């Protein structure tokens, strides 16, 4: 018999703390792509609201509740992240399990925005990228989904194959931000 051990996608790089900021690899969850069946967008949104506490968001927004969230992922295509299965939505949407394809890094703390500014070519100002917003962009030269859940709380979703590179670059940027703060302290 084999004794298989679960290993984090980011290796031993995360979790890490940098001053007031922490970077962690989020626990693996159900990640499902949803494409509403023809004429079923509203029915899918209603079913999500009933089962999960949120409906389908408009472009650029994220709807979250009860530990899960859904975000747009292209034209008439959404990405659902939840602690539980979404099989009950099959009559309203074409679904594909994406759970093993993604890694999620959570970045939380007052220096999170400054760290991300070194990694992503986007305006992270709360006026341009408010809470509960999503961007598909590059983070450390890796195509990623960047979600802002709080003023100082971000999630970076990237291909699992790039997990160690993402973790290494987040760690490097965080150390640079901390070094700069220590010099000016």
Fold (topology level) of 30-99? Alpha-Beta Plaits (3.30.70)
HEC readout, the chain: CCCCCCCCCCCCCCCEEECCEEEEECCCCEEEEEEECCCCHHHHHHHHHHHHCCCCCCCCECEEECCEEEEECCCCCEEEEECCCCHHHCCCEEEEECHHHEEEEEEECCCHHHHHHCCCCCCCCCCCCCCCEEEEEEECCEEEEEEEEECCEEEEEEEHHHHHHHHHHHHHHHHHHHHHHHHHC
- What is the pTM for the complete model shown? 0.91
Where along the chain do its domains lie? 16-27+100-184, 30-99
* CATH architecture of the domain with residue range 16-27+100-184: 2-Layer Sandwich (3.30)
**What is the tens place of the pLDDT at every residue in 51-83?**
999 999 999 999 999 889 999 988 899 999 999
Mean per-residue pLDDT, 89-109: 96
pLDDT tens-digit series, residues 132-185: 999 999 999 999 999 999 999 999 999 999 999 999 999 999 999 988 877 776
Q: What local confidence, expressed as pLDDT, does residue 4 receive?
A: 75
Give the pLDDT confidence score for residue 29 in this predicted structure.
87
């Amino acid at each position: 018999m084999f004794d298989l051990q679960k290993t984090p996608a980011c290796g031993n790089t995360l979790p890490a703390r940098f001053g007031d900021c922490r970077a962690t690899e989020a626990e693996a969850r159900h990640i499902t792509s949803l494409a509403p069946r023809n004429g079923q967008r509203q029915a899918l949104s209603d079913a999500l609201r009933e089962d999960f506490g949120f409906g389908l968001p408009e472009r650029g927004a994220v709807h979250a509740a009860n530990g899960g969230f859904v975000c747009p992922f292209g034209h008439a295509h959404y990405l659902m992240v939840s602690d539980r299965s979404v099989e009950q939505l099959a009559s309203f949407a074409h679904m594909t399990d994406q759970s093993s394809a993604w890694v999620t890094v959570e970045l939380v703390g007052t220096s999170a925005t400054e760290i991300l500014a070194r990694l992503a070519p986007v305006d992270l100002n709360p006026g341009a990228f408010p809470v509960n917003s999503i961007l598909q962009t590059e983070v450390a030269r890796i195509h990623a989904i960047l979600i802002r859940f709080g003023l100082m709380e971000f999630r970076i979703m990237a291909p699992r194959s790039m997990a160690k590179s993402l973790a290494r670059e987040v760690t490097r940027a965080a150390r640079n931000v901390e070094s700069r703060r220590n010099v000016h302290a």
